[in-house]
């Protein structure tokens, strides 16, 4: 089993109590499934109520450390207009953040998550950022830096706060600059992960970045204002790339008046979390689609993904060295859905168990709740869009079994002595159980899409049906016949008679009828 990522969540705190209380509450509601999490705070508060809130957060927890800011307290003006940072205060905070960097290195943490104490985090923030595998990535939030200005992100593309692409030495007029800025801002409003030039305030930093020497210390010959800018420039100089993620934006309580909008944010966030959003640490019910693909661009992939996109929360796709536009199809169709897409340089389709194990490990690395494995030519019937959510919400089930129908054309499936797959229930959706000793059937073909011992988990059958579209075209049937003949000439992993029956010119076909009633 892979080691559990160890995360240090850290924040320098000098905050108004009402805002700090919401920040700490969001930390308690963070989903941390599959992670080992510790907390570190530097208490730089100048009033007792805020200090007491930190102590109450730490009470009874063994994974929280509170350090003193050490004084003296520097003036910090924060009102309903803006925040006014003095130069001395900027570098004081930089020193606090550097202490966290050292703590993370010395504590052998896999990641340091630096987060400002005026943010309310989405519960999925941490598990999602870790799943991206980036060395430095920040979750984007939007703020009116002054009350009359439009909301802007805390990430940028270059210089002090340039929000548009500009080539070195390029000159653009104001109209073009405004157009490019609008283009960048529109991009950030779409769920995705984007390379940027600057970031801060809600940043995940990998151990690799820590060991390379990232720092918030001042670069003496750089006039840019703010410790985050010095951090970002030093990181880029060390060969590290900066990324902004926009899937789970935090809520920024920049002013106390922003507390009024927090209720709406929470209602929106929890309404989007499948199941009971108020029980974040219970058994969650998000669905991760895992799929193995190779040269599927001109077949059924787009149709299958468009349907799946209506009920999944994330997708993990392993591309086995496709020679066509398969990866581009995946990205285009799944735009707006968190996607992990890995392409192998060399194909391994001759050894299926290697690919199936690789896909499983990729899916597990995203810390999923449920893993649904479909092939690129498999699609649920229409009623699955709502029904799968209901199935995933059942806390008592760990494996769901479904029937697969081999479609011979759009309206008929095949049924005869060698084509009876739809008479049997097979596993397609498994709840990931950390610590369970998953084992694989070590055969190069027909090894199964899941570890072979998932039958030991608590299972249930569903009347939902899956269409297997891969047999519908005569040319596909011929290709599969020759593929099996090449990869399994002695029929060691399959049935010779079934291989031969693929080319039967007059198979027995049965009309497919959609079932509209809900499953029991």
Residue 78 has a pLDDT of 63
For residues 364 and 477, membership in a common domain is answered with yes
For residue 85, being part of any structural domain is answered with yes
Final residue of a domain: which of 272, 299, 323?
272
For residues 178 and 208, membership in a common domain is answered with yes
* Residue showing tokens 């009971």: 276
Q: Using DSSP, state whether 103 is helix, strand or coil.
A: helix
Residue 443 has a pLDDT of 67
Q: The domain spanning residue 447 has which CATH number?
A: 3.90.550.10
Name the residue range of residue 447's domain. 287-511
Q: Pairing state of beta strands 370-373 and 426-431?
A: antiparallel
> Based on the structure, what is the number of domains in the chain?
2
For residue 279, being part of any structural domain is answered with no
Tell which residue, 200, 202, 188, 266, has the closest CA to residue 229. 200
For residue 476, being part of any structural domain is answered with yes
Query: Helix/strand/coil (H, E, C) string of 17-49?
Result: HHHHHHHHHHHHCCCCCCCEEEEEEEECCCCHH
Q: Which helix (H) or strand (E) holds 177?
A: helix 174-188
Tell which residue, 113, 105, 107, has the closest CA to residue 138. 113
Q: Using DSSP, state whether 379 is helix, strand or coil.
A: strand
For residues 211 and 308, membership in a common domain is answered with no
Residue 191 has a pLDDT of 83
For residues 16 and 141, membership in a common domain is answered with yes
Helices (H), 205-290: 207-212, 227-237, 262-272
Q: Which mean pLDDT values do the consecutive 10-residue runs of the chain (520 residues) have?
A: 80 91 91 88 87 90 90 63 72 94 96 96 90 94 85 94 92 92 91 93 96 95 92 96 93 89 80 41 72 93 95 92 93 90 83 86 88 96 89 90 94 90 93 87 73 90 94 84 76 73 87 65
For residues 328 and 424, membership in a common domain is answered with yes
For residue 355, being part of any structural domain is answered with yes
For residues 267 and 315, membership in a common domain is answered with no
For residue 517, being part of any structural domain is answered with no
For residues 417 and 324, membership in a common domain is answered with yes
For residues 221 and 105, membership in a common domain is answered with yes
For residues 182 and 213, membership in a common domain is answered with yes
Question: How many other C-beta atoms can be found within 10 angstroms of the C-beta atom of residue 338?
Answer: 23
How far apart are alpha carbons 334 and 191 in whole angstroms?
Answer: 10
CB 457 within 8 A of CB 431: yes
How far apart are alpha carbons 322 and 331 in whole angstroms?
Answer: 14
Max Cα distance, the chain (Å): 88
How far apart are alpha carbons 327 and 336 in whole angstroms?
Answer: 15
Q: The domain spanning residue 209 has which CATH number?
A: 3.90.550.40
For residues 113 and 213, membership in a common domain is answered with yes
For residues 264 and 383, membership in a common domain is answered with no
Residue 274 has a pLDDT of 43
Per-position DSSP letters for 245-268, written without gaps between them: E-SSPPEE--SGGGGGGHHHHHHH
Tokens of 329: 């199809």
CB 465 within 8 A of CB 385: no
For residue 91, being part of any structural domain is answered with yes
Final residue of a domain: which of 272, 297, 323?
272
CB 513 within 8 A of CB 381: no
For residue 22, being part of any structural domain is answered with yes
For residues 215 and 182, membership in a common domain is answered with yes
Q: Using DSSP, state whether 205 is helix, strand or coil.
A: strand
How far apart are alpha carbons 52 and 201 in whole angstroms?
Answer: 23
For residue 461, being part of any structural domain is answered with yes
Final residue of a domain: which of 245, 272, 299?
272
Q: 227-237 and 87-106 helices cross at what angle (nearest 10)?
A: 50
Residue 31 has a pLDDT of 85
């Amino acid at each position: 089993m892979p080691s559990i990522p160890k995360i240090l969540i850290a924040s320098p705190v000098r905050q108004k109590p009402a805002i700090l209380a919401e920040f700490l509450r969001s930390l308690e509601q963070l989903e941390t499934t599959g992670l080992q999490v510790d907390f570190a705070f530097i208490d730089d508060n100048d009033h007792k109520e805020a200090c007491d809130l930190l102590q109450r957060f730490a009470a009874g927890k063994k994974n929280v450390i509170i350090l003193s800011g050490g004084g003296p307290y520097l003036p910090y003006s924060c009102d309903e207009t803006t925040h006014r940072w003095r130069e001395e205060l900027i570098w004081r905070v930089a020193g606090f953040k550097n202490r966290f960097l050292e703590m993370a290195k010395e504590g052998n943490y896999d990641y340091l998550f630096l987060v400002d104490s005026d943010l309310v985090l989405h519960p999925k923030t941490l598990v999602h950022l870790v799943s991206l595998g980036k060395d430095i990535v920040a979750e984007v939030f939007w703020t009116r830096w002054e009350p009359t200005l439009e909301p802007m992100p805390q990430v940028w593309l270059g210089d002090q706060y340039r929000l548009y692409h500009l080539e070195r030495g390029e000159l653009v007029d104001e109209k073009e600059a405004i157009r490019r800025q609008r283009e960048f801002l529109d991009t950030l409003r779409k769920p995705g992960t984007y390379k940027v030039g600057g970031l801060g305030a809600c940043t995940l930093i990998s151990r690799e970045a820590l060991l390379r020497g990232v720092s918030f210390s001042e670069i003496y010959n750089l006039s840019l204002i703010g410790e985050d800018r010095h951090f970002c420039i030093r990181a880029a100089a060390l060969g590290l790339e900066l990324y902004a993620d926009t899937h789970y934006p935090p809520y920024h309580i920049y002013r106390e008046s922003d507390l009024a909008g927090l209720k709406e944010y929470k209602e929106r966030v929890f309404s989007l979390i499948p199941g009971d959003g108020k029980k974040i640490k219970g058994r969650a019910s998000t669905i991760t689609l895992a799929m193995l693909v190779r040269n599927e661009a001109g077949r059924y992939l787009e149709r299958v993904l468009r349907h799946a996109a209506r009920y999944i929360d994330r997708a993990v796709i392993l591309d086995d060295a496709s020679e066509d536009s398969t990866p581009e199809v995946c990205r285009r169709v799944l735009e707006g859905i968190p996607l992990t897409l890995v392409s192998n340089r060399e194909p391994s389709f001759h050894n299926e168990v290697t690919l199936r194990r690789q896909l499983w490990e990729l899916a597990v690395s995203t810390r999923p709740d449920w893993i649904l494995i479909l092939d690129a030519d498999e699609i649920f019937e229409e009623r699955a869009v709502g029904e799968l959510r209901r199935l995933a919400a059942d806390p008592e089930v760990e494996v769901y079994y479904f029937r697969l129908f081999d479609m011979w054309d759009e309206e008929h499936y095949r049924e005869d002595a060698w084509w009876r797959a739809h008479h049997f229930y097979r596993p397609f959706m498994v709840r990931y159980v950390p610590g369970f000793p998953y084992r694989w059937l070590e055969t190069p073909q027909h090894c199964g899409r899941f570890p072979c011992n998932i039958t030991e988990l608590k299972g249930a059958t569903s009347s939902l049906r899956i269409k297997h579209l891969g047999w519908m075209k005569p040319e596909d049937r011929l290709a599969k016949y020759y593929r099996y003949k090449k990869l399994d000439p002695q029929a060691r992993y399959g049935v010779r008679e079934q291989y031969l029956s693929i080319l039967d010119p007059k198979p027995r076909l049965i009309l497919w009828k959609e079932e509209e009633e809900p499953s029991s």
